[in-house]
Amino acid sequence: MMFEAKVTVRLKKGISDPEGVNTLKALRLLGFENVKNAQTTRMFNLMIDGKDKKTVQKDVEQMCQRLLTNPVVHVYEIEISEQK
């Protein structure tokens, strides 16, 4: 069965987000002074061939820990859905 896994990778609270800070600065320079905060998030969409949802979930957690995220600075969310 094919599953789609959406992995959302965010920075932990208190970790600075230079890309967000610079986006905010650039928006202000363009005249969008009503923007009060900007944060960036990365998402991975993976197509996975797996036995069942639980196995796929476990695999994706492994992928997050080994490659997709840095546990020192990131938190992540995993969303698995079956593809028809």
CA distances from 26 to 19, 30, 68, 76 (A): 10, 6, 28, 27
Output the six-digit token pair for 5.
Answer: 């896994």
Least separation, in Å, of the C-beta of 4 and a copy of itself?
9
Of 13, 45, 72, 84, the residue at the interface with a copy of itself (CB under 8 A) is 45
Of 15, 39, 75, 82, the residue at the interface with a copy of itself (CB under 8 A) is 39
Question: 2, 80 in Cβ contact below 8 A?
Answer: no
Residues that bind a copy of itself (CB under 8 A): 2, 8, 20, 23, 26-27, 30, 32, 34-50, 59, 62-63, 66-68
